[in-house]
Chains A and B, each alone.
Chain A
Amino acid sequence: MTVVPPLELTHFQAFLLFAVVISVAFGFLGRRRPKDRVKYILWSLFLFLLVGIGVGWAMFPFSR
């Protein structure tokens, strides 16, 4: 049996993978026209990153 090697990602890489995949899926499911899809994907991705990094920094003072 083929064993898949474990995938090791940093926090940011895992977060980025999640944000990109979900943004693209939502864009395609939620919008019909290609131009609208691209706009939705970019906006959604931007908000994911903004909120994720923002919450990360907000928790920084309490992290130690």
Chain B
Amino acid sequence: MDETLQNPANDGTQPAPPGKEAHSSGESRALAFGIAGWLLPGLGHALQMMWGRALIVFFAVGLLVFAGASMKGNVFTRQGTDAFDTLGYIADMGTGSFYLFARAIETSGADVSHADGDYGTRLLATAGVLNLLAALHAYEAARGHKA
């Protein structure tokens, strides 16, 4: 039903209802939690006092990144030559600051000529996608959606 019919006094000249500003502030806060969760896995949940989820996300992403880089998986860079490299780079960047951790571990470069390296590449991409999912979860939780 039209809102003006429900409230004839509201002719558009009234100031915005007070809830609107709070809603905007809550949205910004939720976005900040989401970005924090992406930058440091688990931080988005930790800021909301969801300690169990924060720890699990931190260690799950950390373990996958460590295993993937230790198995000499491919840590993609910006200098990709095709679409798959770009997709891999986006997935790897999903780990946020842990991307630098992966680069630091893998000082001697990737070796995907063996199955280990191939698995490592997948584990790194999985870590990134998992962290993006967790960051989205933190964002939704901060918006008050059931999580």
Please determine whether B137 and A4 come into contact, CB atoms closer than 8 angstroms: no
Please determine whether B119 and A9 come into contact, CB atoms closer than 8 angstroms: yes
Q: For the complex formed, measure the closest distance between the CB of A38 and the CB atoms of chain B, giving whole angstroms.
A: 13
Chain B positions 96 through 113: 1 when the CB is less than 8 Å from some CB of chain A, otherwise 0: 000000000101100000
**A residues within 8 A CB of B67?**
7, 9, 17
- Report the nearest A residue to B54, measured CB to CB: A28
Q: For the complex formed, measure the closest distance between the CB of B70 and the CB atoms of chain A, giving whole angstroms.
A: 4
6 cross-chain pairs, A with B, having the tightest CB-CB distances, nearest first: A7-B70, A14-B119, A25-B60, A28-B56, A7-B71, A21-B60
A–B pairs, 19, beta carbons within 8 Å: A1-B107, A5-B70, A6-B71, A6-B116, A7-B70, A7-B71, A9-B71, A9-B116, A11-B119, A17-B123, A18-B64, A18-B126, A22-B130, A25-B134, A28-B56, A28-B57, A29-B53, A29-B137, A32-B147
B113-135 contacts to A, CB under 8 A, are: 115-116, 119-120, 122-123, 126, 130, 133-134
Please determine whether B64 and A29 come into contact, CB atoms closer than 8 angstroms: no
Contact of B107 among A3, A24, A32 (CB under 8 A): A3
| Given contact pairs A1-B107, A9-B116, A14-B119, A25 touches B57 in the complex (Cβ within 8 A) | yes
| Given contact pairs A11-B115, A28-B56, A29-B134, A21 touches B72 in the complex (Cβ within 8 A) | no
**A residues within 8 A CB of B72?**
6
